[in-house]
Structure 1
Amino acid sequence: MYNNEEATPAFTAFLELLGETVCLKGFNKYAAQLDTKTDSTGTHSLYTTYQDYEIMFHVSTMLPYMPSNPQQLLRKRHIGNDIVTIIFQEPGAQPFTPQNIRSHFQHVFVIVRVHSPCSDNTCYSVAVTRMKDVPPFGPPLPSNGLTFRDPAAFRAFLLAKIINAENAAHKSEKFHAMATRTRQGYLRDLAENCVSTTPLDTAGKLNNLISLASKRKERIRAREGAEMGALGALIWRVLAQDFSGGGAELPCALAISSEYIVLAHCSTKEVVFNCFCADVIGWTAERLALKIFYGRGDHVALRVPEGSAQDIREVVQRLKALTIGCETVDMTLRRNGLGQLGFHVRLDGTVSEVEEYGFAWQAGLRQGSRLVEICKVAAVTLSHEQMIDLLRTSVTVKVVIIPPFEEGGARR
């Protein structure tokens, strides 16, 4: 594989389909560790873009060939250290097996076989092999084994496949461990080499030494609560209710980043709950307890120990900063003379219509509100018929709602 000196016409056609051949000397875009100054890694290579990605291929026939080195170490240094490798096969080639490749880095092989090359009937078939700890990734291969006849569709499929393969491989045990070690190294370097022993409160002493300043500058204070808008995760210790385990409370770490909400068990380190911040639609906050509603009205229940009420306030502040949700509202609804509540509710628990100036309207219920609890029963656990029956037959109807957006749309 590393000893091919020249590209065949079929391989050249495949390369032209993937991208453009660029001159490396002076190349100022993504170069994938290729030499762009002295041509030590060849004079040309294959480059392309796909959506927001730049891709530079390490092409065996474009990397320097050394007749005196049968292992072609210069080529292997690049291709053998790539995570994703494309194997191009022409008609009659033996089936590829990754057992022939010895590499600690190559985790995914995408095998492309050309059929009827250099003709009007040229088409391609694709197979993929990956290491066991690399999770599956898309786009899926044609289930019926069909070949790709449309060049544009094949190119889009193949580029998406190799990009997703690279991202999936980074979740494997080896690359996850490497990333963890790298981050630990950066943190250790910060702690050892970038930490000052100078006390923070030195403004008075410095002002005595600096004579050029005509006026003492006020110390800049960080805005209170500025961390609530941080992109990274903020973490609180909580007790999470385990609905699958009979309601037992699990000691967990609650982490809220700009994208995710995660609950991790403090002892096992396992993630017991996660959702996107974009899925959060509301919350019910008490002094030491919190319910976070997400999706169609599912919720996770949390509690903090006595003396940690500030944690609940901080979590709510974080949710306000990062989600579209809002505080829930408790309502007790009265019936009119006909026994009606004066509103209609959809399958998903959202209110579709409210009788103007009726009892429900006077209580504050509006179109677009979402019922998340009806008579202390989670609405998401009820069918539409059960929801209607509970609203019709309960003597006292107490509901918990999530108000709509100001323009009237439901939070979803």
Structure 2
Amino acid sequence: MSEQQSPVQPKPIADDEIDLLALVKTMWNGRRTIIISVISGAILGVAVALLSPKEYTASTVMVPQMGDSQSKMGGLGGLAALAGISLDINPGAELSPMIYPQITGSIPFQLEMMDTPLNFQDHSQPITLFEYYTKYSKSSVLGSIKKYTIGLPGVIIGAIKGKPEELRLPGDSTKQPILLTKDQYTVKKALDEIVSLEVNAKEGYLTLSTRMPEALVSAQLAKKAQDLLQQYITEFKIKKAEANLDFILGRYTETKAEFEKAQVSLAIVSDRNKNFTSGLSQIETDRIQTRYTIAFTVFQDLAKQLEQAKIQVKMDTPVFTIIEPVTVPAERSKPKKAMIVTIWIFLGGIIGVGFVFGKEFMKEVKKRWNETA
């Protein structure tokens, strides 16, 4: 009698194992919810893409002057030495490019940026950046929605605190610390967002970029920021050399007048005493000659120092090599509508799937709760 084989029992699934078939079935059963969530995400994505304000980014790439001035100007220093001029080359005056972002974010820099005239399409005459943000700039629909949803707690807190008192500096404001008005502070915060300077220390170049609602305006603002940055760095580097040049130039002018005066006096005395050989006339001539010689020596020395100071100013003046000049952007940088819609569709799908599995999980929890009750 043959043995009767018992049917093979399926291997039970452990509690901690994931049943992929069950997951797929759960998603299929909740497909209506997932589809609605995806469609809702797509609609929200389209709305966000259409309501987001346009932005155009203009940028420029620069390479600042780096390295030791002595190695760069060695040939010029040798030629100057042949002429009796000693160049005081001070590499310690170098300003690190890592400090440049601090310059573009400084209050004096931004106050000058606020006065930049810009040509907006809606205005026949140029208006300044300060006027644009304080008189003409309007919050977008999306910005208003964010303000009264995500930013609602801040609005409520601000309403409770009330408006801060307007401070005023006593006496002569030129000798007081900088005090920004409320409007200036508002524009400053906007500049912190729309103007950026990135330093690539590895490659040794700078990328200055600006973002504005119009292409031409963005390019104009970037050009102003580039010129102003070069001006600030130049003023910093040549400040000491220019002060020295001004001092020497003043002394040179005074000494030149004294030398010319001594020169005229010597000529007059020489002509007057030409036919006289007395001791008194000779003493007078020698005295004027000595005065002339001293004046000439001092004048000649100051002339050398003046040339030295002029060369030093040129040596200290930084040079920026513009790799990529500022150009008017042809395409907007924001919003990237396709990316926004794709992200919102993905988020809608994630939320829909999460809701379906969350609902099943709560059913299972409720079922087990009832079984143990």
| Structure 1 or 2: more strand by fraction | 1
Regarding TM over 0.5, the answer is: no
| Structure 1 or 2: more helix by fraction | 2
TM-score (norm 1): 0.20
